[in-house]
Amino acid sequence: MKLHEYQAKALLAAYGIPLPRGEVASSPEGAEAIARSLGGRVVVKAQIHAGGRGKAGGIRLVETPQEAREAAAALVGKRLVTPQTGPQGAPVHAVLVAEAVAIAQELYLAVVLDAAALGPAVVASALGGVDIEEVARQSPEKIVRLVPDPLLGLLPFQGRQIAYALGLPSTLVRPFADIAGGLYRLFVEKDCSLVEINPLALTPDGRLLAVDAKVVLDDDALFRHPDLAALRDREQEDPLEAAAADAHIAYVRLDGDVGCLVNGAGLAMATLDLMTRAGVRPANFLDVGGGASQERVEQAFRIILEDPRVRWVLVNVFGGILRCDVVARGILAAVRAKGSCPPLVVRMLGTNMEEGRALLREAGLSVTFVETLQEAGDRLRSLRGGL
C-alpha cells in the first residue's frame, strides 16, 4: 500500500528525520492560509500516489499566499498525468504546502527490499533529484548500495560509510548517518517494502532536509499497523485492484490482453511465465486461492471481465480441494451477470473435471479446452492471429 507524501513525511518526522515545515490542504483557501502562516516562499505539491510530479507541473514554487491559492486551485480537483501514472493520471484531492527551501545539492536515499540480498538494502546517490532513473541507467557507479545484517540493522559506522562514499563534507557525515539510521528503522518497524527520500536536499547553509518522501507498506503486514492501514486512499488505486483487495483476491493488473484465472499463486506465476515465453501477453496475475468458493470464483471472473483490455481469457485450474465444477459454475455466474464473455481457453484438470468442462461446453460460450499450457499458448496465439 502506498502513502501520500504528507503521510510519509509524518512518519519520517517521527523517526527524527529533518523536513521543511508544511501542512496539507484540500482547498485553495486552505493552501493560502498555510502559506500565510509559513511566511515567505512556499512550494505547493499535488498529493497523488505517484512520483514524477515535478516534471508534470504538480510541484509549484510560489512567492505569495495569493499565488499559493492559485497554484492549489490549478491542482485540486484535477487529474495529474505524470510519467509514473499512465495516461489516465491520478486524481488530486489535496496539496502539501511546504516552506520552499534553497537547494545546493540534491541527494538520493532509500531503503528497499532486496530479494537477492535477502534483506533491506540502503541505496544512496549524490546525484539525486528528478533524473535519478537516468543516473541509475547511465552511471550506475554513482549509486551506492549497502546491505546491513538484518539482525543488527544499519549501524552508525555503516551510515557514515555511505556518507563518505557520497563524498559528503565531514560536517554532514553524522547528520547523514542519523537520517539513514532513522530511515532504516522506519523501514523495519513499519514493515515497509520501500522508503525513499528524493531529493534529500542539502541547503546552502549546510542542512540536510527531506524535501520529498515516499513510503510503500507491505500489504501482508498491514494487520500489524491499523493506524497505517487507515491511511489507505482507495481513490488513488486501480479500481480493479481495489475491488480485488476488498474481496481478498490476489490480483495484479498487467498490461497485456489475456485475462488469467488460476488457482494457486505458484501455478499463477508459472502460467504467466509460460504464456509470456509463448508470446502471449497476460492482462493480470490472479490467484483465486486453493479453497475458493463458487462466489469467490465469480468475483474473480467478474474482475477479469471488467478489464476493458481483456480480449481472451485463459483459465488454468488444477482441481484439488477446489473442484472444477465449482470453478465452472463461478465463471458462468459471472458471465450471466456481465451478459457477455470473450473467447475462453480452458485447461481444467483434477477433481470433477468432466463435470466442469461439460458445464462450460453446454453454456454456449466460445471455449477451447486444452491439456497443456503449451497448447494454451498455441491456441491464444492463433486466436490473436485470427482477429
* Interface contacts to ligand GDP, rule CB under 6 A: 20, 43, 45, 51-54, 59, 100-101, 103, 106, 129-130, 198-199, 211-212
Q: Looking at 63-71, 141-149, 193-201, 283-291, which segment touches Mn ion (CB under 5 A)? A: 193-201
Distance, CA of 166 to CA of 89 (rounded, Å): 35
Residue 264: CA atoms inside 13 Å, Cβ hemisphere, count? 11
Q: Which lies closer to ligand GDP via its Cβ, residue 53 or residue 69?
A: 53
Q: Which residue is nearest to ligand GDP (CB)?
A: 54
The catalytic position among 32, 106, 196, 298 is 196
Q: Is 196 a catalytic residue?
A: yes
Q: Which lies closer to ligand GDP via its Cβ, residue 43 or residue 348?
A: 43
The catalytic position among 108, 184, 251, 298 is 108
82 part of the interface to Mn ion, by CB under 5 A: no
Rounded to 5 degrees, what are φ and ψ at 339?
Answer: 90, 0
The least CB distance from residue 298 to ligand GDP, in Å, is: 39
298 part of the interface to Mn ion, by CB under 5 A: no
Neighbouring residues of 64: CB distance < 8 A, sequence distance ≥ 6? 35
Buried b vs exposed e over 353-379: b needs ≥16 C-beta within 10 Å? bebbbebbeeeebebbbbeebeebbbb
Q: Which residue is nearest to Mn ion (CB)?
A: 212
Q: Is 15 a catalytic residue?
A: no
Bridge-based pairing state of the strands 258-262 and 312-319: parallel
- From the list Mn ion, ligand GDP, none, pick the one residue 159 interacts with, judged by a Cβ distance below 5 to 8 Å according to partner type: none
**Region of residue 279 (left: phi > 0; alpha: psi -120 to 50; beta: else):** left
5 part of the interface to Mn ion, by CB under 5 A: no
Q: Which lies closer to ligand GDP via its Cβ, residue 109 or residue 326?
A: 109
The least CB distance from residue 125 to ligand GDP, in Å, is: 13
DSSP 65-116: HHHHHHHHHHHTTSEE--TTT-TT-EE---EEEEE----SEEEEEEEEEETT
Name the site residues for Mn ion (rule: CB under 5 A): 198, 212
